[in-house]
Amino acid sequence: MIERITGHTVLTGLLGSPVGHSISPMMHNEAFLQLNLDYAYLAFDVDTDKLAIAVEGLRALNVRGFNLTMPNKNLICELLDQLSPAAQIGGAVNTVVNDNGILTGHTTDGVGYMMAVGDAGHDIIGKKMTLFGAGGAATAILIQAAFDGVSEISVFSIHDAFYDRAVKIVNDLNERTKCKVTLYDFEDESILRREISESAILVNGTSVGMSPNVDACILKDSSMFHKDLIVSDVIYNPKETKLLRMAREFGCPTFNGLYMLLYQGAESFKIWTGKEMPIEIIKEKYFNK
């Protein structure tokens, strides 16, 4: 890596806490190397209390762009000059690009999910989705799916800290897109059963079932599935959650959140460089293990 650094090397990176576990530096630096780009990507452990000063430092250094991970995705919005339409509706940013000192925030998580759907061999445009959750990942998926042309989305959420925000986002999407979005209380099992029965795809956008709580499942059994239902989970650790295992055993096609991670990074890469990440190389080296 040191041998590649020159006086013209363009810096990108990741801000969050913790960040030591992130695969993003390996993924982006490999892509830069493969495309012979004089760029570098570093991870910086920056918590919310230091975010403002870190962002101004990156602006002053003319850093090309950076990613945000928890806990900085919401707070960063207040520190930027512009937001993409999706980031504006969702109130969260995971990618920032610096154009001559103007910082613009994007959210690529939803793009990553929709690309992962295609990678799994499915086309859900013009079809109906049922989505569990109203947190960060679920919101990004909701917004991008509506923008991309999913015809109807039924969102199920508990009345938690995200619920009021979800109400506003649903209203915004109904006004700004052609997608019919409805927010339901997760506790209403009869409505949940009806909506899943009418859906082409079911998405778990919550952390239920994530390691180490691998025996947890957002559905108690497989009675709500139907054979034509695609079942996906944003979780990738474990690779197969209890929800996905139940769906697979029922006969549904399934996929996890691993390639959502890959493709959201690829979209960030494209925003910064204007080039396509060499997906197949990155898949083989870091994801197909």
Q: 249-271 pLDDT, tens per residue?
A: 999 999 999 999 999 999 999 99
Are residues 138 and 221 both part of a single domain?
yes
Q: What does the pLDDT read at residue 17?
A: 94
Active site residue 285: no
Q: What does the pLDDT read at residue 288?
A: 82
Are residues 163 and 244 both part of a single domain?
yes
List residues bridging with 43 in a β-sheet.
14
Q: What does the pLDDT read at residue 289?
A: 66
Q: What does the pLDDT read at residue 3?
A: 62
Are residues 149 and 196 both part of a single domain?
yes
- Which residues of the chain are under the pLDDT cut of 70? 1-3, 289
Are residues 11 and 32 both part of a single domain?
yes
Residue 251, Cβ neighbours under 10 Å: how many?
12
Are residues 125 and 172 both part of a single domain?
yes
- In whole angstroms, what separates CA 228 from the centre of its chain? 25
Query: In sequence order, what are the residues at sequence separation of 6 or more whose Cβ sits closer than 8 angstroms to the Cβ of residue 108?
Result: 94, 95, 264, 265, 267, 268, 271
CA 287 to each of CA 24, 67, 94, 280: distance values in angstroms, whole numbers, following the listed order: 12, 20, 21, 10
- Here the tokens at position 112 are 């990553």
Query: In sequence order, what are the residues at sequence separation of 6 or more whose Cβ sits closer than 8 angstroms to the Cβ of residue 44?
Result: 13, 14, 15, 19, 54
Q: Which of 73, 127, 220, 242 is catalytic?
A: 73
Count of the separate structural domains present in the chain: 2
Q: What does the pLDDT read at residue 70?
A: 86
Are residues 270 and 187 both part of a single domain?
no
pTM (two decimals): 0.95
Are residues 124 and 235 both part of a single domain?
yes
CATH code: domain of residue 61: 3.40.50.10860
Are residues 103 and 143 both part of a single domain?
no
Q: What does the pLDDT read at residue 260?
A: 97
Domain span holding position 43: 2-107+260-287
Q: What does the pLDDT read at residue 58?
A: 97
Are residues 226 and 246 both part of a single domain?
yes
